[in-house]
Chain A
Protein backbone atom coordinates (compact mmCIF):
# COMPACT_ATOMS: atom_id res chain seq x y z
CA UNK A 1 0.00 0.00 0.00
CA UNK A 2 0.89 3.68 -0.19
CA UNK A 3 1.47 4.07 3.52
CA UNK A 4 1.36 2.28 6.84
CA UNK A 5 -2.21 1.37 7.67
CA UNK A 6 -3.48 0.73 11.18
CA UNK A 7 -6.84 -0.50 12.32
CA UNK A 8 -9.00 0.26 14.09
CA UNK A 9 -8.31 4.00 14.38
CA UNK A 10 -10.17 4.10 17.69
CA UNK A 11 -11.06 1.34 20.12
CA UNK A 12 -12.99 1.58 23.36
CA UNK A 13 -12.97 -1.57 25.43
CA UNK A 14 -13.99 -2.65 28.88
CA UNK A 15 -11.37 -3.42 31.47
CA UNK A 16 -10.48 -7.10 31.39
CA UNK A 17 -11.27 -7.63 27.71
CA UNK A 18 -8.70 -8.61 25.10
CA UNK A 19 -7.95 -6.36 22.13
CA UNK A 20 -6.14 -6.82 18.83
CA UNK A 21 -4.54 -3.96 16.96
CA UNK A 22 -3.51 -4.40 13.35
CA UNK A 23 -0.68 -2.88 11.34
CA UNK A 24 -0.23 -3.19 7.59
CA UNK A 25 3.26 -1.90 6.74
CA UNK A 26 4.46 -0.43 3.48
CA UNK A 27 5.02 -3.18 0.96
CA UNK A 28 8.61 -4.38 0.91
CA UNK A 29 9.53 -2.88 4.27
CA UNK A 30 11.39 -5.46 6.32
CA UNK A 31 11.48 -3.59 9.64
CA UNK A 32 8.32 -3.02 11.68
CA UNK A 33 8.03 -1.22 15.01
CA UNK A 34 5.28 -0.82 17.60
CA UNK A 35 5.31 2.16 19.95
CA UNK A 36 2.93 3.40 22.60
CA UNK A 37 2.27 7.04 23.39
CA UNK A 38 0.36 8.12 26.46
CA UNK A 39 -1.16 11.59 26.59
CA UNK A 40 1.56 14.24 26.54
CA UNK A 41 4.34 11.68 26.66
CA UNK A 42 7.04 10.52 24.27
CA UNK A 43 7.10 7.34 22.20
CA UNK A 44 7.60 4.23 24.29
CA UNK A 45 9.14 1.35 22.35
CA UNK A 46 7.21 -1.93 22.55
CA UNK A 47 8.48 -4.43 19.98
CA UNK A 48 10.51 -4.55 16.77
CA UNK A 49 10.49 -7.05 13.90
CA UNK A 50 13.25 -7.28 11.32
CA UNK A 51 12.82 -9.77 8.49
CA UNK A 52 12.97 -13.34 9.73
CA UNK A 53 15.02 -12.51 12.82
CA UNK A 54 13.65 -13.09 16.29
CA UNK A 55 11.70 -9.98 17.34
CA UNK A 56 13.07 -7.58 19.93
CA UNK A 57 10.40 -7.75 22.63
CA UNK A 58 12.36 -5.83 25.23
CA UNK A 59 9.82 -3.01 25.42
CA UNK A 60 6.69 -5.03 26.11
CA UNK A 61 5.48 -3.80 29.53
CA UNK A 62 3.99 -7.09 30.74
CA UNK A 63 3.16 -10.61 29.62
CA UNK A 64 -0.34 -9.39 28.76
CA UNK A 65 1.20 -7.86 25.64
CA UNK A 66 2.22 -9.92 22.63
CA UNK A 67 2.73 -9.32 18.93
CA UNK A 68 3.24 -11.33 15.84
CA UNK A 69 4.09 -10.62 12.26
CA UNK A 70 2.77 -13.08 9.73
CA UNK A 71 4.58 -13.71 6.47
CA UNK A 72 6.88 -10.78 7.09
CA UNK A 73 4.05 -8.35 6.45
CA UNK A 74 0.97 -7.66 8.59
CA UNK A 75 1.50 -7.41 12.33
CA UNK A 76 -0.98 -7.79 15.17
CA UNK A 77 -0.45 -6.43 18.67
CA UNK A 78 -2.59 -8.22 21.24
CA UNK A 79 -3.31 -6.93 24.73
CA UNK A 80 -4.98 -9.43 27.04
CA UNK A 81 -7.05 -8.54 30.09
CA UNK A 82 -6.78 -4.82 29.37
CA UNK A 83 -6.23 -2.39 32.21
CA UNK A 84 -6.97 1.33 32.36
CA UNK A 85 -3.25 2.13 32.22
CA UNK A 86 -3.15 0.51 28.77
CA UNK A 87 -5.10 3.49 27.43
CA UNK A 88 -2.84 5.22 24.91
CA UNK A 89 -2.22 5.71 21.21
CA UNK A 90 -0.51 2.68 19.71
CA UNK A 91 1.67 3.58 16.75
CA UNK A 92 3.13 1.26 14.17
CA UNK A 93 5.99 2.18 11.83
CA UNK A 94 7.87 0.41 9.07
CA UNK A 95 11.13 1.03 7.29
CA UNK A 96 12.85 -0.45 4.30
CA UNK A 97 15.98 -1.15 6.28
CA UNK A 98 16.77 -0.96 9.96
CA UNK A 99 17.78 2.51 11.05
CA UNK A 100 16.54 4.29 7.97
CA UNK A 101 13.52 6.55 7.85
CA UNK A 102 10.56 4.84 9.45
CA UNK A 103 7.08 5.79 8.29
CA UNK A 104 4.29 5.81 10.83
CA UNK A 105 0.67 4.81 10.59
CA UNK A 106 -2.06 7.04 11.99
CA UNK A 107 -2.22 5.02 15.17
CA UNK A 108 -4.93 3.32 17.17
CA UNK A 109 -6.32 5.26 20.10
CA UNK A 110 -7.17 2.68 22.77
CA UNK A 111 -9.41 3.65 25.64
CA UNK A 112 -10.01 1.16 28.44
CA UNK A 113 -13.07 1.98 30.53
Chain B
Protein backbone atom coordinates (compact mmCIF):
# COMPACT_ATOMS: atom_id res chain seq x y z
CA UNK B 1 0.00 0.00 0.00
CA UNK B 2 1.27 3.44 -0.93
CA UNK B 3 2.26 5.83 1.84
CA UNK B 4 1.49 9.26 0.49
CA UNK B 5 -0.36 11.80 2.59
CA UNK B 6 -2.13 15.05 1.91
CA UNK B 7 -3.35 17.64 4.38
CA UNK B 8 -5.81 19.10 4.82
CA UNK B 9 -8.38 16.80 3.20
CA UNK B 10 -10.93 19.60 2.99
CA UNK B 11 -10.42 23.36 3.12
CA UNK B 12 -12.84 26.25 2.79
CA UNK B 13 -11.28 29.71 2.74
CA UNK B 14 -12.07 33.23 1.65
CA UNK B 15 -10.79 35.05 -1.41
CA UNK B 16 -7.34 36.57 -1.08
CA UNK B 17 -6.02 34.19 1.57
CA UNK B 18 -2.65 32.48 1.23
CA UNK B 19 -2.78 28.71 1.53
CA UNK B 20 -0.36 25.80 1.43
CA UNK B 21 -1.43 22.28 0.58
CA UNK B 22 0.84 19.66 2.07
CA UNK B 23 1.98 16.44 0.41
CA UNK B 24 4.38 13.94 1.96
CA UNK B 25 5.49 10.45 0.99
CA UNK B 26 7.48 7.95 3.03
CA UNK B 27 8.54 5.71 0.14
CA UNK B 28 11.70 7.60 -0.82
CA UNK B 29 10.34 8.29 -4.30
CA UNK B 30 12.40 10.79 -6.28
CA UNK B 31 9.53 12.02 -8.50
CA UNK B 32 6.45 13.89 -7.30
CA UNK B 33 3.48 15.46 -9.09
CA UNK B 34 0.52 17.75 -8.48
CA UNK B 35 -2.72 17.31 -10.43
CA UNK B 36 -5.79 19.52 -10.44
CA UNK B 37 -9.08 17.68 -10.86
CA UNK B 38 -11.97 19.79 -12.06
CA UNK B 39 -15.63 19.12 -11.16
CA UNK B 40 -16.04 17.22 -14.42
CA UNK B 41 -13.41 14.76 -13.13
CA UNK B 42 -10.75 15.62 -15.73
CA UNK B 43 -7.17 15.58 -14.39
CA UNK B 44 -4.56 18.17 -15.32
CA UNK B 45 -0.87 18.06 -14.37
CA UNK B 46 0.08 21.43 -12.87
CA UNK B 47 3.54 20.80 -11.36
CA UNK B 48 6.12 18.06 -11.17
CA UNK B 49 9.52 17.43 -9.65
CA UNK B 50 12.11 14.83 -10.58
CA UNK B 51 14.24 15.44 -7.50
CA UNK B 52 15.25 17.80 -4.72
CA UNK B 53 15.54 21.44 -5.85
CA UNK B 54 14.00 20.54 -9.21
CA UNK B 55 10.49 21.73 -10.12
CA UNK B 56 8.71 22.20 -13.43
CA UNK B 57 5.35 23.52 -14.54
CA UNK B 58 2.93 21.00 -15.94
CA UNK B 59 0.59 20.98 -18.88
CA UNK B 60 -2.02 23.26 -17.32
CA UNK B 61 -1.02 26.78 -16.37
CA UNK B 62 -1.52 27.39 -12.68
CA UNK B 63 -1.08 30.39 -10.39
CA UNK B 64 0.21 28.07 -7.68
CA UNK B 65 3.87 27.48 -6.85
CA UNK B 66 5.70 24.45 -5.46
CA UNK B 67 8.97 23.68 -3.73
CA UNK B 68 11.03 20.51 -3.25
CA UNK B 69 13.53 21.06 -0.46
CA UNK B 70 13.27 17.51 0.89
CA UNK B 71 12.70 14.30 -1.02
CA UNK B 72 9.60 13.39 0.95
CA UNK B 73 7.85 16.76 0.90
CA UNK B 74 6.24 18.63 -2.03
CA UNK B 75 4.00 21.48 -0.83
CA UNK B 76 1.84 23.59 -3.13
CA UNK B 77 1.15 27.25 -2.33
CA UNK B 78 -1.45 29.71 -3.54
CA UNK B 79 -0.44 33.28 -2.60
CA UNK B 80 -3.93 34.71 -3.08
CA UNK B 81 -6.78 32.27 -3.44
CA UNK B 82 -9.64 33.01 -5.82
CA UNK B 83 -12.95 31.20 -6.49
CA UNK B 84 -11.51 29.90 -9.77
CA UNK B 85 -9.04 27.86 -7.68
CA UNK B 86 -11.89 25.79 -6.27
CA UNK B 87 -10.99 22.22 -7.21
CA UNK B 88 -9.59 18.95 -5.94
CA UNK B 89 -5.80 18.76 -5.81
CA UNK B 90 -4.11 15.35 -6.03
CA UNK B 91 -0.48 14.65 -5.21
CA UNK B 92 1.37 11.63 -6.60
CA UNK B 93 4.85 10.12 -6.56
CA UNK B 94 6.89 7.57 -8.47
CA UNK B 95 10.33 6.02 -8.18
CA UNK B 96 13.26 5.78 -10.54
CA UNK B 97 12.40 4.31 -13.93
CA UNK B 98 9.02 3.02 -12.76
CA UNK B 99 6.02 4.37 -14.63
CA UNK B 100 3.60 3.61 -11.78
CA UNK B 101 2.42 6.66 -9.87
CA UNK B 102 1.01 6.43 -6.35
CA UNK B 103 -1.66 8.97 -5.43
CA UNK B 104 -2.59 10.64 -2.18
CA UNK B 105 -6.23 10.99 -1.08
CA UNK B 106 -6.52 14.55 -2.35
CA UNK B 107 -7.37 17.98 -0.91
CA UNK B 108 -10.75 19.41 -1.81
CA UNK B 109 -10.37 23.19 -1.84
CA UNK B 110 -13.29 25.63 -1.88
CA UNK B 111 -12.63 29.36 -2.18
CA UNK B 112 -15.58 31.56 -1.32
| Pair from one complex | no
